[in-house]
Amino acid sequence: MNEINLKDKTFEVFIPETEISAMVHSVANAINNSGIKNPLFIAVMNGAFLFAADVMKKITIHNAEISFIKLSSYEGTETTGEVSRLIGIEDNISGRNIVVLEDIVDTGITLERIIKLLEKENVADIKIATLLFKPNAYTKDIYIDFIGKSIPNDFVVGYGLDYDEIGRNLPHIYKLKN
């Protein structure tokens, strides 16, 4: 089945499951060969749940740990404006070597927020791994250490990524059909 309907939209297969699997292996191998010691992987929910699970099974680094966070944004009172915080951050991650696992980096605004919040925790090192990256949408200077695949500015769903909370269960990645 090459096409799929989610709510009011039609999507077509863009990255089949077999290719996703190869991307995951390549990211995991690069992390394994990076020399990082005692890593604490931090998967950004909800979108990264399948990527994180599949990458972790391929990680061979001694003492690898994983934790899960969610970025919450809400309107602060008066002058503070929008406030972000990380839900689920461990009590003490100071001094840890962090590998952030993201589903997709688009403008990079989310990534920048996450990094700022992690830096406040005095971690030793932060590396970024993302399954998908949209270079033409990226507005930040933050170096992305591990990229599964760079893609054009199409809206994609599947393998963890949602359209209005649905489609996360799809084994392939689909793109919006124009």
From Mg ion, ligand 5GP, none, interface partner of 17 (C-beta below 5 to 8 A by class)? none
Residue 106 catalytic? yes
* Residue 87 in contact with ligand 5GP, rule: CB under 6 A: no
Report the phi/psi class of residue 25: left, alpha or beta, with left for phi > 0 and alpha for psi in -120 to 50: alpha
Site string for ligand 5GP, 43-72 (x = CB under 6 A): ----x-------------------------
Phi and psi of 107, rounded to 5°? -70, -25
Q: Write down the residue that tokens 């809400």 correspond to.
A: 74
Instruction: In angstroms, give the least distance from the CB of 166 to ligand 5GP.
Output: 10
CA–CA separation, 30 vs 15, rounded Å? 20
Strand 173-176 with 9-15, pairing: antiparallel
CB of 45 vs ligand 5GP, minimal distance in Å: 10
Q: Applying CB under 6 A, which of residues 24, 98, 105, 114 lies at the interface with ligand 5GP?
A: 105
CA distance 62 to 35: 11
> Which positions lie near ligand 5GP, rule CB under 6 A?
47, 103-111, 155-157, 161-162
